[in-house]
């Protein structure tokens, strides 16, 4: 009894041989009938067409994707947002970022590299400097802190905004308020 049988598993070739004729899996299991050879040829023809059109999906080094994920992380784009935008599983993203996955499919790399810092979530923290510059402009224009707070949708007149970091949502609301009154 070999290792596969001891573990209660079946060999891949055995599982594939149960497939119907005219499928690539049956061809890979060893069947060389006309229908199975044709299925394999169709598959290879489609792969070749995809490669020629630039949709090659071979194995590539994950270093570029890893560096991009780290850059995005420093800019406030976390793995859950990258997952939502790229449709690459969170587990795969974690494995790439940690360096445990060193080689990935080219299509996966392209989807990760397509994610930009613009994908930040509303709750992402960003530096508060530019937001406070806009608040100070509003104060110079005659706004009170209470009015700014109410205009931003706060329930009280207390303008409680951190001086170091603000959320993307707060920065966007302050920016919209400034634009509304600059015109």
Q: Are residues 124 and 94 in contact, defined by beta-carbon separation less than 8 angstroms? A: no
Per DSSP, the three-state class of 118 is helix
Query: Which pLDDT belongs to residue 164?
Result: 95
Q: Which tokens sit at 180?
A: 């509304």
Q: Is the dihedral of CA 167, 173, 177, 179 positive or negative?
A: positive
Based on C-alpha coordinates, what's the Rg of the chain? 27
Query: Which pLDDT belongs to residue 42?
Result: 94
Query: Which secondary-structure segment (H or E) carries 83?
Result: helix 79-86
Query: Which pLDDT belongs to residue 50?
Result: 84
CA distance 41 to 24: 9
Per DSSP, the three-state class of 127 is strand
- The partner residues of 125 in beta bridges, in order of sequence, read 167
Confidence (pTM): 0.58
Q: Can you say how many angstroms the Cα of residue 145 is from the centroid of all Cα atoms in its chain?
A: 38
Residue ranges of the chain whose pLDDT lies below 70: 1-14
Q: Are residues 21 and 36 in contact, defined by beta-carbon separation less than 8 angstroms? A: yes
């Amino acid at each position: 009894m070999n290792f596969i049988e001891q573990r209660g598993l079946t060999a891949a070739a055995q599982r594939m041989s149960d497939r119907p004729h005219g499928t690539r899996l049956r061809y890979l299991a060893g069947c060389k009938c006309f229908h199975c050879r044709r299925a394999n040829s169709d598959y290879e023809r489609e792969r070749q067409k995809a490669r020629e059109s630039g949709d090659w999906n071979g194995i590539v080094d994950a270093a570029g994707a890893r560096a991009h994920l780290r850059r995005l992380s420093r800019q406030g784009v976390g793995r859950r947002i990258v997952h939502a935008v790229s449709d690459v599983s969170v587990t795969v993203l974690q494995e790439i970022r940690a360096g445990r996955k060193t080689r990935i499919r080219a299509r996966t790399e392209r989807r990760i590299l397509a994610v930009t810092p613009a994908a930040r979530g509303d709750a992402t923290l960003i530096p508060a400097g530019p937001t406070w510059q806009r608040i100070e402009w509003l104060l110079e224009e005659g706004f009170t802190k209470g009015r700014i707070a109410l205009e931003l949708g706060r329930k009280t007149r207390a303008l409680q905004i951190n001086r170091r970091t603000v959320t993307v949502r707060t920065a966007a609301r302050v920016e919209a308020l400034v634009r509304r009154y600059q015109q």
